[in-house]
Structure 1
């Protein structure tokens, strides 16, 4: 009996639906975020390639106030295209993509901050690029986490329902019986 009381409760595996409904309002936030950031990165990359800057040139060529070279331009276009694909797909994929790329942008900012005045700075980063990387990273994380991470998600939110399956099921039964007027009130 004593050993049974010491056992931790069984873990529940929370699995989110693979896709949000196409008309869910969160889907629009994820798509807009991915599309907007992807478009900005593609424009920056194309402008860098138009200037015909050397691929690994660290001479200080600027585009839209940011230092760049051919490698950074191509990388920006590739990441921008990935974000546009995420925008087209939408749903959890766009949200997760935004979060992952946001973390990578912030990590890139820190790495490139450490490499600023070294010979390893092959992407020609300067401090304004580091700040831009931080801003894009935070924006992508905001767009990706919107509606997924909060202490007060509404009860009709699919992520809240996935984290609280028993209460969501109970509320759904109560609504079906007519005892619950609004979602999340009870």
Structure 2
């Protein structure tokens, strides 16, 4: 039997990463499909407002693409899902900062408004939280697989069972 070193031994962490990627990816795909529906122009500075958030076809396609990446990460699971959550979370936070920079300029080709920017930040922070859960911290427990992989020399061996001295002696 060969162990897969890319997957942590603790499957509970893998379930957290899968759940976060699947939940966020599913929401992004559904919102992206609703946003892309009934739109006639790809890039525009005016978008139809759906539930308080302006929607354009290009942003709908982007949401479906990112949601599909997250769903793919949820299917693979393990450390891969965690890494996908972290990378896309950082992408969402950086795109939120970029959206703030172009909010009231002629370069706002995705018809972004402040509620859109807030949603992008929330999705980014949620993805970063799910991706970093149990992976990054100053005080990870000693039985955490990430702590063990970073400190292979400090991992204590499990205690050996000693046979009592009176067993088997007459």
Q: TM-score, normalised by structure 1?
A: 0.80
Deviation at 1:53, TM superposition (A): 4.5
Q: Which has the higher helix share?
A: 1
Deviations 1:58-85 (A, max 9, x none): 2231223211211000000000000000
Between the aligned partners of 2:62 and 2:116, the Cα distance in structure 1 is 14
Runs of 4+ in 1 over 6 A off after TM superposition: none
Correspondence for 1:92: 79
CA distance in 2, matches of 1:139, 1:176: 39
Instruction: Kindly provide the CA deviation profile for residues 133-172 of structure 1, in whole angstroms up to 9, marking residues without a partner as x.
Output: 111000000000000011221211110001111111xx12
1:177 to 149, 160, 163: 160
For each residue in 1:11-52, what CA deviation from the matched residue of structure 2 results, as whole angstroms up to 9, or x when unmatched? xxxxx931234x610000000000111011111111012232
Identify the structure with bigger relative contact order (alpha carbons < 8 Å, sequence gap 6+).
2
TM-score by length of 2: 0.88
Q: Judging changes above 3 Å, is the alpha-carbon distance between structure 1 residues 60 and 152 closer, same or farther for their aligned structure 2 residues?
A: same
The structural deviation recorded for 1:57 is: 2.4
How far apart are 1:178 and its partner, in Å?
A: 4.4
RMSD across aligned positions (CA) = 1.7
- 1:70 aligned to 57, 60, 76, which one? 57
Kindly indicate whether residue 1 of structure 2 is the aligned counterpart of residue 17 of structure 1: no
Unaligned runs of 5+ in 1: 1-15, 180-186
Matched residue pairs, number? 159
CA change 1:45–1:53 in 2 (3 A) is: farther
Q: For structure 2, list consecutive stretches of 5 or more residues without a partner in the other structure.
A: 163-170
Contact 2:54–2:113 (Cα < 8 Å) also in 1 = yes
